């Protein structure tokens, strides 16, 4: 088989989302939803319920009395952590793997996804353009999923490109992927999103997060949030190694949200604080 056929098969081999993860993600993608709706979805997944109760009663939260009610636990943790917990099984199978094609060690990719999600959520909180922080967080958490499917098929490509990437500040890694693989991680991620039957907002943010100006107009505010969150994560030193900061910044984001230097700095500081806190909550990390 040629490279295209192999990558297509790799997409098919990506594990399906669990029913609860899929339902929670689709719920959060809606413009409005009730917290009780999330609780109802959690109740029918015994594994997710167990992880939520274990986390909320962990020393990291320091509660005086143990929480036994799933309703109380979900309210205390918030939808962001519930989404992370719902994706733990997927993370264990995919996100925690070493991505050799990107020279990315085990766990690095997940940390980049998490920091992008946190940054995108902070942008959503600071702006008022119709994107909920929960949706921005979820989209950020999934934005680079295409890298997992193509990494093993570009191991040699990554080695061959390393000298060029390191010596050329103007290189756009997305174009290099297309040139050497006939596709890129954004397009592959979009195919995975369609395979998972994700809402259009999430599919679009995955497929166009490096080229937000190409996204359908109605989805661009969200896609630009993920685009900027991705850049801020890389600027903080948390990329996926070989391609870190090797993408073109689409300054069109300023048409949707004009953030000052001080606001950008505040977002990066807030992400650092939240990331350290989440690092202590080992229950949201794949085993």
Lowest mean pLDDT among 47-51, 91-95, 125-129: 91-95
Nearest to 131 by CA among 212, 210, 218: 218
- Give the percent of the chain with pLDDT over 70: 86
Does residue 116 sit in the same domain as residue 229? yes
How confident is the model at residue 203, as a pLDDT?
Answer: 97
More confident residue, 278 or 249: 249
Does residue 54 sit in the same domain as residue 99? no
- Among the candidates 86, 105, 130, a domain finishes at 86
Average pLDDT, the chain: 86
pLDDT in tens, 105-146: 888 888 899 899 999 999 999 998 889 999 999 999 999 999
Nearest to 119 by CA among 284, 268, 256: 268
Does residue 114 sit in the same domain as residue 65? no
pLDDT in tens, 227-247: 999 999 999 999 988 888 889
Number of independent structural domains in the chain:
2
Does residue 129 sit in the same domain as residue 39? no
How confident is the model at residue 249, as a pLDDT?
Answer: 93
Does residue 98 sit in the same domain as residue 28? no
- Among the candidates 31, 59, 86, a domain finishes at 86
How confident is the model at residue 138, as a pLDDT?
Answer: 92
Does residue 131 sit in the same domain as residue 253? yes
How confident is the model at residue 12, as a pLDDT?
Answer: 87
- Structural domain boundaries, residue 61: 18-86
Does residue 36 sit in the same domain as residue 112? no
- Among the candidates 51, 86, 121, a domain finishes at 86
Q: What number of other Cβ atoms are within 10 A of residue 30's Cβ?
A: 13
Does residue 149 sit in the same domain as residue 61? no
pTM, rounded to two decimals: 0.88
What angle is formed at CA 102 by the lines to CA 100 and CA 103, rounded to 5 degrees? 60
Does residue 123 sit in the same domain as residue 225? yes
Confidence of residue 6 (pLDDT cuts 50, 70, 90): confident
Confidence of residue 226 (pLDDT cuts 50, 70, 90): very high
Q: What is the CATH number of the domain that holds 125?
A: 1.10.3210.10
Does residue 134 sit in the same domain as residue 244? yes
What value does the mean pLDDT take over residues 258-287? 80
More confident residue, 158 or 181: 181
How confident is the model at residue 209, as a pLDDT?
Answer: 98
- Give the percent of the chain with pLDDT over 90: 47
How confident is the model at residue 158, as a pLDDT?
Answer: 54
Asked whether residue 156 carries a pLDDT value surpassing 60, the answer given is no
Asked whether residue 287 carries a pLDDT value surpassing 70, the answer given is no
Say if residues 208 and 250 touch (Cβ distance below 8 Å): no
* Cα distances (angstroms) measured from residue 120 to each of 33, 208, 227, 241: 20, 15, 8, 20
Q: How many CA atoms are closer than 13 Å to the CA of 52, on its beta-carbon side?
A: 31
What value does the mean pLDDT take over residues 264-269? 95
Strand partners, 104: 99
Lowest mean pLDDT among 24-38, 109-123, 144-158: 144-158
What angle is formed at CA 135 by the lines to CA 213 and CA 188, rounded to 5 degrees? 55
Residues in contact with 195: Cβ distance below 8 Å, sequence separation at least 6, in sequence order:
11, 12, 14
Does residue 180 sit in the same domain as residue 81? no
The tokens describing 213, both together, are 């100006």
Does residue 24 sit in the same domain as residue 98? no
What value does the mean pLDDT take over residues 22-41? 89
How confident is the model at residue 35, as a pLDDT?
Answer: 86
């Amino acid at each position: 088989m040629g490279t295209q056929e192999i990558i297509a098969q790799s997409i098919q081999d990506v594990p399906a989302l669990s029913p609860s993860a899929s339902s929670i993600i689709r719920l959060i993608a809606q413009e409005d939803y009730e917290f009780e709706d999330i609780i109802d979805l959690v109740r029918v997944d015994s594994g997710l319920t167990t992880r939520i109760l274990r986390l909320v009663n962990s020393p990291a939260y320091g509660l005086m009395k143990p929480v036994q009610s799933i309703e109380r636990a979900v309210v205390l943790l918030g939808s962001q952590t519930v989404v992370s917990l719902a994706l733990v099984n997927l993370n264990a199978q995919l996100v925690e793997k070493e991505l050799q094609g990107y020279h990315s060690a085990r766990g690095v990719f997940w940390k980049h996804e998490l920091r992008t999600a946190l940054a995108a959520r902070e942008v959503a909180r600071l702006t008022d353009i119709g994107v909920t922080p929960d949706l921005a967080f979820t989209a950020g958490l999934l934005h680079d999923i295409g890298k997992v499917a193509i990494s093993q098929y570009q191991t040699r490509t990554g080695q061959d490109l390393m000298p060029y990437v390191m010596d050329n500040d103007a290189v756009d890694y997305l174009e290099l992927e297309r040139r050497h693989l006939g596709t890129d991680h954004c397009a592959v991620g979009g195919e995975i999103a369609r395979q998972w039957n994700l809402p259009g907002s999430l599919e679009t943010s995955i497929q166009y997060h490096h080229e937000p100006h190409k996204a359908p107009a109605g989805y661009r505010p969200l896609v630009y949030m993920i685009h900027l969150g991705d850049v801020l994560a890389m600027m903080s030193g948390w990329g996926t190694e070989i391609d870190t900061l090797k993408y073109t910044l689409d300054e069109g984001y300023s048409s949707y949200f004009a953030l000052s230097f001080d606001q950008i700095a505040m977002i990066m500081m807030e992400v650092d604080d939240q990331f350290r806190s989440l690092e202590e909550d080992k229950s949201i990390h794949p085993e």
